[in-house]
Chains A and B, each alone.
Chain A
């Protein structure tokens, strides 16, 4: 196993993606939870509807986790054999992985926070017009598109970088 500076940078990238996605989701889910609790205290039967809204900003945490996990698999940490041959990952290769993780890290953090805000507003819709709760979900889900795009670019970069390195 070659624990080089490059490997460290790559892992650091994955870890940051997981952390920032998780932080963003925690903030988002937390804010929606507060608003949702207010609605449920008035009308407990709306629990199911507001729960879905609360879970929506939670996916960024999953995406961050997914990027980190795929990165660990791709650079061979999970299998115990880090790629890059005898010399291990070079610093520039490590930085490539690091950069690949950044879209998910930043995109995940910020989109989760704003998705949380959109979902809080959606909780207001559920409180006043429960029959329109589908629209509330869509408003919040629009924000998630950018987390999905960030996830995609991160994953595709990680896969392509691996195929460049391993040939």
Chain B
């Protein structure tokens, strides 16, 4: 039984031990807490304030780590960047460091303050630079920009649109001022479409000159200086360099703190554990002297934790069976071979209350079908090697370990089928043998050398799908029928165990008879030589099955017409449903061919040149690039279609889903694994 027996656990203990016991429960990670409703008998602990504090601390730490990643990124290996690795620390070390968590938080405050400083400096610098940009054209002016003249003179300092020199300005003003020399001007600077001018005239013609200037678009600067522009320019330059100093210093602080990265990571784990712990504590109920913890636990863990708690604390522990209509979580326990596909099942839905654990039934088929669809031993070998390296070099846990395991077994299946179908990176061995060693038929040559027929066709141990697609199609249907029958018998087992023996017999046996009976005829249509006696026997069997379906499918109906109607409908449903389900397995052929043919095309393209050296030079890059792309695309396709066959064809035979995964309170850490001594 792969579905674990879940019990309800109730722990009562002295309120003084609440923190220690919750700590222990969290470290063990085997109890899923359930909320105890607030009523007249018990109170709830208010933890929202502490929870809020820890959430705030956690955010500080998160931001600090983000800043560290920005300025002093940690160098990671290739594998590590795909699968993050955790360090192990002992419980003693954890507790020792826990006291320092507040100090570690201090580093985070420093880092965040420094980062804030850097950001603010950057904004201020940008603002100052804008001012500098505005003042630059005025730098040659050696009086304040606000200067408007002496007792007898008037001064206009401002900008004119368009590019003027003293002469062209004079010409431009000619229509307004006439020939007379009424003003003196100096072009401070000009840039493309603007001219920065200083114009002086006698007070008497102040208005005249001003109007003339206005007429050609004169404007006062928006932010004139009280001192000569250079003074402001230098002041802002100084400000910028001060800001840069500040920002550099802040960066220095951050870089200094980089050596505390490990501590900060520790603080991250520490505060996230506390956050979770406090949200767990809010589920407890308390009275003046005791607290009550309610939850779900697997049967095998229940005994162990009660022993441990009873030894250490004064507790009362109640272990009971959950009620019939309670929302009990599901915990699965499988060996590595079967457990590896748990992720696939959970993606559909964890097993519901009445379901059996589908993983042991489906694991073997999952790998086998995956292998037929990917069907290239070379790609399979790469998967096996890749996952084996990941398994040996890295600490994998939980879902990640299962995924890696799954691809490992899928890889083995792929190598198996690929060898049967003679596809190793397409036909690379044959292509190389033919193009570089002049061996036209590699398989035949090896057979000759060995003295017996190892390879039946090409280098296939069985047959090459491209040579005989119909054959693979027939086998695809056969594998499909076997897969579906496995599902059918799983449903038999499930109903039988649920004491629905009539259902088990009536819903499974007739379908089995019908489908098995039709098989010889179906095989005949697909041009298999079937003896007519077998065909006839099959037809009798199928007829018996059909009659049984008509008789039993409507057994829930009250009257005879309803029984018959539902029976006929059931027959139609079964026949059409199974037909389309079985046909669906033709995708095994389609995807298998797709991988093999495209892989061969890659090899063919690599050997286009006539010259042997050119061939070799082209083949290597084409081989690497082509097969990487082909493998990636086909891996995704295969994964998707294997899932589809499991979900749509297989699961529909017996699996309902709708369960809820067991989510115990545990030490959900990101950087460290806390190991109990």
Contacts and interface: CB of A to CB of B under 8 A. Distances in A.
A142 B647 CA distance: 11
A56 to B, nearest CB: 7
B466 to A, nearest CB: 8
B647 A138 contact: yes
Interface stretch (B207-215, B230-238, B410-418, B588-596): B588-596
Interface stretch (A4-12, A84-92, A150-158): A150-158
A69 B644 contact: no
A90 to B, nearest CB: 25
Contacts of A52: 636, 640
Interface string A124-167: 00000000001101100110110011011001100100000000
Interface string A75-106: 00000000000000000000000000000000
A68 to B, nearest CB: 11
Interface in B584-603: 584, 586-587, 589-591, 593-594, 597-598, 601
A160 to B, nearest CB: 8
A52 to B, nearest CB: 6
A65 B593 CA distance: 12
A59 interface: yes
A159 B597 CA distance: 14
Nearest to B347: A134
Given A58-B633, A159-B469, A152 B589 contact: yes
A87 B481 CA distance: 45
A55 interface: yes
A62 B590 CA distance: 11
Interface string B590-631: 110110011001000000000000000000000000000000
B536 to A, nearest CB: 28
B470 A138 contact: no
A142 B648 contact: yes
Contacts of B469: 155-156, 159
Nearest to A51: B636
A155 B593 CA distance: 10
Contacts of A159: 469-470
B633 A138 contact: no
Contacts of A138: 640, 643-644, 647-648
A62 B644 contact: no
A4 B601 CA distance: 26
Contacts, number: 69
Contacts of A55: 633, 636
A52 B598 CA distance: 20
Contacts of B470: 156, 159
B590 A148 contact: yes
A56 B597 contact: no
B662 interface: no
B348 A134 contact: yes
A152 B597 contact: no
Nearest to A133: B347
Interface string A40-65: 00000000000010011011001101
B594 A62 contact: yes
B633 A148 contact: no
A70 interface: yes
A56 B644 CA distance: 13
Given A137-B643, A138-B644, A141-B641, A62 B584 contact: no
B471 to A, nearest CB: 11
Contact of A66 (B593, B640, B643): B593
B406 interface: no
Interface string B160-194: 00000000000000000000000000000000000
B70 to A, nearest CB: 15
B551 interface: no
A151 B636 contact: no
Interface in B309-351: 344, 347-348
Contacts of A156: 469-470, 473
Contacts of A69: 597, 601
A78 B479 CA distance: 33
B586 A66 contact: no
B145 to A, nearest CB: 46
A138 to B, nearest CB: 6
A39 to B, nearest CB: 18
A62 B586 contact: no
Contact of B598 (A66, A141, A142, A152): A66
B652 to A, nearest CB: 12
A155 B470 CA distance: 10
Contacts of B344: 134
B637 interface: yes
A141 B597 contact: no
- Of the candidates A56, A59, A65, the one having the most CB atoms from chain B within 10 angstroms of its own CB is A59
A17 B469 CA distance: 20
Nearest to A140: B640
B144 to A, nearest CB: 50
Contacts of B591: 148
Nearest to A163: B470
Nearest to B601: A69
B597 A66 contact: yes
A66 B648 contact: no
Given A62-B598, A62-B633, A141 B593 contact: no
A104 to B, nearest CB: 11
Nearest to B632: A55
B601 A134 contact: no
Interface in B620-671: 633, 636-637, 640-641, 643-644, 647-648
A41 B583 CA distance: 41
A151 B643 contact: no
A155 B643 CA distance: 24
Contacts of B587: 145, 148
A138 B641 CA distance: 9
Contact of A152 (B586, B641, B644): B586
A32 to B, nearest CB: 13
Contacts of B590: 63, 148, 151-152, 155
A145 B587 CA distance: 8
Nearest to B587: A148
A114 to B, nearest CB: 16
A159 B466 CA distance: 10
Nearest to A63: B594
Contacts of A145: 584, 587, 644
Nearest to A159: B469
A144 B590 CA distance: 12
B644 to A, nearest CB: 5
A55 B590 CA distance: 18
Contacts of A134: 344, 347-348, 643
Given A52-B636, A69-B601, A142-B644, A149 B586 contact: yes
A62 to B, nearest CB: 6
16 contacts: A55-B633, A56-B636, A56-B640, A66-B597, A134-B347, A134-B643, A135-B347, A135-B348, A137-B643, A138-B644, A138-B647, A144-B640, A145-B584, A149-B583, A152-B473, A156-B470
Closest 9 CB pairs of A and B: A134-B347, A148-B587, A141-B640, A148-B590, A141-B644, A151-B590, A152-B586, A152-B590, A55-B636
Given A135-B347, A156-B470, 10 more contacts: A58-B633, A62-B594, A69-B597, A69-B601, A70-B597, A144-B640, A148-B591, A151-B594, A152-B586, A152-B589
